[in-house]
Amino acid sequence: MNTFNIALIGCGTVGGGVVKILSEMNHTLNERAGRAVKISRIVELNPENAIKRFGIQKEAFCGGGKKLTVDEANSYISDILNDTGIDLVVETVGGTGDFVFNLCVNVCKSGKHLVSANKALLAERGKAIFNAAEENNVSVGFEAAVCGAIPIIKTIRESFTGDEIVSVSGILNGTSNYILSRMIDENLSFEQALTFAQEAGYAEADPTLDISGGDAAHKLIILMKLIFGIDVTMEELKYQGIQSISKTDMDYAREINARFKLICFARHDGDFIYGGVCPMMVKDENVLSGVNGATNAIRVINKYSGKHILIGAGAGSSETASSIVADILFIARYNDRMNRTLPNGKLKFKGLKDYTLPYVITFETEDRPGITGLVTTEIGRQNINIYTVTHNRHVSDKALFSIETQASTLKQINAAISEIKTKGILKCEPVVYPILY
């Protein structure tokens, strides 16, 4: 049995998990790969934590387990790139800077396969990496970059190749989902739920990337590239986080039998791909509404085979590492380029503001007779059909109520709000959220 040699650059939480799985399942994984899969070299600046946490032998590390200077690490990486005996490099360094970008490009240029969980890098600078892989006839495995242990990348690449994906929507950030679940189930404020998420280890000390929708946006960009063959930048993809969701918003969602979720949404309609990331009120009949905690879930709707739901862990050392190992084994066994969607020059990208969705608009107005009628009249003048209007909640001299519309564009919604503002009845800016059935 010949050997498939791997170099690991970075051995933190995820990298250590890769080594652990490959070690504990060595015999089984070798049989699945059809050859011996071996980690030949590990480059890590501070290997002490990995040695203690994962029980990795010191001798497995370049430098024999001692701390490395940046220059020493770069020298070892250069040796790896020049070593024709290394078949694949796993990158778990993270970040989007020039160092990790150049590392990934140079791995491909050296004729070695690349496996990475680096969603931010692939979303923001992946085009050059994929081009380098294409030019040098090597694979880029990135299953772990989107939803950890959920095999969404392989499902799209392999299982759905005989169908046409019409839309994808999902909960792609476990931290936000955990926070929203605590807010809904325990009637907590956002700030309270965020504190619990940090205490439980789901949210970082600086949770900005998760709660702002940025992390989810990176994943959606990768999926849109894979499914529809379009390149979308973070600037083009409008994303909104969950920081502004209040207990009142949660109450109105309950009234229409829905739950708040941070949703990644993309749909092919005619010559356009409509996409975005934002909080949505997800109706109870949609499976995504019942996905709680730090769990991720993706709903794919195909032209011929209909709806498909994938649910599972979206992060964690073992979960993410298992997807990296799956990529390693696939490449080791088949040793060729995995299919990827070719660029589609005909399709154009548009944000969700141009797509028709039902909305909930919450108003805070003066408390006097006829207010609800005035508001609904202006909404109707924008050719927006109204589905339901909630009962007024009277707080001091204010009236609070929400209106559930049928499908319309955000442009229509904003036009109606602009007209309502001219009446001088609003106490504050109306709150608008789309609904997902």
Q: Residue type at 69?
A: T
Query: What's the rounded Cα separation, in Å, for the pair 250 and 7?
Result: 48
Active site residue 219: yes
Q: Is 102 left (phi over 0), alpha (psi -120 to 50) or beta?
A: alpha
User: Based on the number of CB atoms within 10 Å of its own CB, is 36 exposed (0-12), middle (13-18) or buried (19 or more)?
Assistant: middle
**CA–CA separation, 353 vs 413, rounded Å?**
10
Q: Which candidate in 20, 119, 219, 261 is catalytic?
A: 219
Q: Which residues are catalytic?
A: 219
